[in-house]
Amino acid sequence: MKLRELMQLVNAISFSNSPPKSSSKKTSDGDDSEETSKEIRRWRLECLSMTTEIMNTVETVLKNRHLAQFYARNTPLPRHAYQSEEAIPDLNAMDPLVHIQSLRVHMYCTDDLGIQLLERVNMVNKLQEFIFSYNSLLILASTPLPFPLVQMGRAFLFLWTFSMPLVLLGGPFSQVWGAQIFLFFLTYGFIGLELVSIKLSEPFGNSRDDVQLSGIRDAALLGIENDLKGMDYQMTMSERRFQFAQQKYRQNRQAVGTSDATANPTAFQDVHAGHNLEQSYSYHAMAGGGNNHDF
C-alpha cells in the first residue's frame, strides 16, 4: 500500500502542476501549456509503469528463497535454480532496488516540469518508506531457521513420541487401547505443531496457506487504476470542490432522510449546511473563481 500512497501523491502533484483549463484561443503560451500537460501526463504514466515493475520484481524475489538470499547476502544461486546456461535470469533486471533507484531518479529530476523541491522530497520519502518495508520482508524471506535447531528438535520429537507408549503402559493406563487413543491425539498435536512451524518458516509462496503476494499486488494495482480514473485532470479546483460538496450533501441526505428532520434536528441542520455549501461552491464555480493551483 506504500506504493499506492506514492502514486496518489504523484497524481496530486501532477494535478496541481497541470496548467489551468482555458477556453481562450490558442497562442504560443497556450501551446506551451499544452506541451507541459503532455509532459506531466507522460511523467505520471512512466511513474506508474516503474511502480508496476517494482511490484512484480518484489513478488518474484520474495517467493524465491534462492533469489532472496542472493539479493540479501550475495549467496550464489544453486545449479538447480536454472535449467541451462541460457536460462540464467538477468539478475540485475530482477533486482527491485534497481527499479526503485530508477523511479527515485525519475521523480526527483523533474526540474523542467515545474515540480517544486518539497514535492519531490515528499515523493522520495514515501518511496523510502517502501524500501524499509521491503528490506524487512527480504530479511524474513532469506533467513532460514538454523539447521541444528531444526535437526535436534525433530530428533527429540521423534524419540519422545515413540517412547511415550512405554511410559503410558507403566503409568496411568493399564490397557493398551487407552494408551493408543491418548498417544494418537498426543502425536497428532505435536506433529501438527511441527508442520505449522515448517509452513511458517517459508511464509511466501503460491500455496493457499502462504501470504498472497499476488493478491496484494493485484489489489494495489486495482486501487491505483481506480485512483487514476477518479482524477479528472480537465477539472478545475472549484469544480472539484463543487463535486465534493454534492457528494457530501447526498451522503447527508441518505444518512438523515426527510422523515428524520423532526426527530434529529442537529443532523437536519447538517444537511442544510451541506446544501448551503453546495450553493456556495456552485456560485464560485459559475463565477470562474479558482484554478488548478487554487489550494
11: nearest Cα among 222, 232, 220, 217: 232
Q: Give yes or no: residues 218 and 175 share one domain.
A: no
Helices (H) and strands (E) in the chain, counts: 10, 0
In this structure, the answer to whether residues 92 and 222 fall within a common structural domain is: yes
The pLDDT assigned to 267 comes to 47
Q: Residues 6 or more apart from 124 whose CB is under 8 A from it? A: 104, 107, 108
Q: Kindly give, in sequence order, each residue whose CB lies less than 8 Å from that of residue 41, ignoring residues fewer than 6 positions away.
A: 14, 233
d(C-alpha 128, C-alpha 65), whole Å: 24
Mean pLDDT of the chain: 75
Q: Which residue has the higher pLDDT, 219 or 257?
A: 219
Whether 55 shows a pLDDT value over 90: the answer reads yes
Which amino acid is it at 146? P
Question: In the chain, what is the greatest distance between 2 CA atoms, to the nearest angstrom?
Answer: 102
| pTM strictly above 0.85 | no
Decide if 261 contacts 88 (C-beta within 8 A). Answer: no
Same-domain pairing of 190 and 54: no
Structural domains counted in the chain: 3
Domain span at 159? 147-201
Q: Which value, to the nearest 10 degrees, does the dihedral of the CA atoms of residues 287, 288, 293, 295 take?
A: 20
Residue 278's pLDDT is 43
Domain assignment present for residue 206? The answer is: no
Is 175 contained in some domain? yes
Residues 114 and 155 in one domain: no
DSSP, collapsed to helix, strand or coil, labels residue 204 as: strand
Residue type, 280: S
Tell me: do 29 and 71 sit in the same domain.
yes
In this structure, are 152 and 112 located in the same domain?
A: no
Residues 20 and 126 in one domain: yes
Same domain for 45 and 164, yes or no, is no
- 228 pLDDT band, cuts 50/70/90, is confident
Separation of alpha carbons 240 and 292, rounded Å: 9
User: Do 82 and 135 have their domain in common?
Assistant: yes
pLDDT at 200 (0 to 100): 82
Q: Does 68 score more than 80 pLDDT?
A: yes
- Give percent above pLDDT 70 in the chain: 68
The yes-or-no verdict on residue 234 having pLDDT over 80 is no
Please say whether the beta carbons of 14 and 135 come within 8 A. Answer: no
- Give domain status of residue 65, yes or no: yes
Residue 53 lies in a domain: yes
Here the cell at position 207 is 500455496
Residue 36 maps to a domain? yes
Angle at which helix 2-16 crosses helix 28-63, to 10 degrees, equals: 180
What CA–CA distance (Å, rounded) separates 210 from 202? 8
User: What is residue 26's predicted lDDT score, i.e. its pLDDT?
Assistant: 47
Domain-located, residue 91: yes
Taking only the tens place, the pLDDT of each residue in 75-124 is 787 766 555 444 556 788 889 999 999 999 988 887 777 788 888 889 89
Give residue for cell 511458517: 200
Backbone angles phi, psi at 114, to 5 degrees: 80, 15
Of 27-41, 134-148, 260-274, give the lowest mean pLDDT range: 260-274
Domain-embedded: residue 55:
yes
User: Cβ contacts of residue 181 below 8 Å, gap of 6+?
Assistant: none
**CA–CA gap between residue 290 and residue 11 (Å, rounded):** 19
Compute φ and ψ for 209, nearest 5 degrees. Answer: -90, -5
Tell me the C-alpha distance between 150 and 200, whole Å: 13
Q: 149: how many CB neighbours lie within 10 A of its CB?
A: 9
CA angle 186, 188, 189 (to 5 degrees): 65
Q: What is the pLDDT of residue 44?
A: 86
Whether 15 and 120 map to the same domain: the answer is: yes
Taken in order 62, 64, 69, 70, the sign of the CA dihedral is negative
Q: Using CA atoms, how far apart are residues 220 and 88, in angstroms rounded to an integer?
A: 30
pLDDT tens digits for range 163-196: 777 777 666 666 777 777 878 888 888 888 888 8
3-class DSSP assignment, residue 224: helix
Note whether residue 259 is domain-resident. yes
Kindly report, residue by residue over 257-282, the tens digit of the pLDDT. 654 545 555 544 544 444 444 444 44
Whether residues 226 and 269 fall in one domain: no
User: Is 131 found in the same domain as 79?
Assistant: yes
Across the range 123-150, mean pLDDT stands at 88
**pLDDT above 70 (res 220):** yes
